Amino acid sequence: MFKIAVLVSGGGTDLQSIIDAVENKEIECSIEMVIGSKEGIYALERAKNHNIPTYVVSKKEYKDKSSDKVLELIRGKVDLIVLAGYLSILDGKILKEFNNRIINIHPSLIPAFCGPGMYGLNVHKAVIKSGVKYSGCTVHFVNSEVDGGAIILQDVVKVYFEDDAESLQKRILEREHIVLPRAIKLISEDKVKIFNGRTKIVEN
Mind telling me the catalytic residues? 106
Backbone angles phi, psi at 115, to 5 degrees: 100, -170
How far is Cα 93 from Cα 194, in angstroms, rounded to an integer?
A: 21
> Judging by beta carbons within 10 Å of its beta carbon (0-12, 13-18, 19+), is residue 189 exposed, middle or buried?
middle
Q: Where are any strands of DSSP class E within the chain? A: 2-8, 29-36, 54-56, 80-83, 102-106, 134-141, 151-158, 192-195, 198-201
Task: Report in angstroms the alpha-carbon separations of 63 from 4, 57, 58, 137, 142.
Answer: 24, 9, 7, 29, 20
DSSP state of 64: G
How far is Cα 92 from Cα 105, in angstroms, rounded to an integer?
A: 20
104 annotated ligand-binding residue: yes
65 annotated ligand-binding residue: yes
Query: Residue 146 is which amino acid?
Result: V
Binding residues: 65, 104
Binding residues for (6R)-10-formyltetrahydrofolate: 65, 104
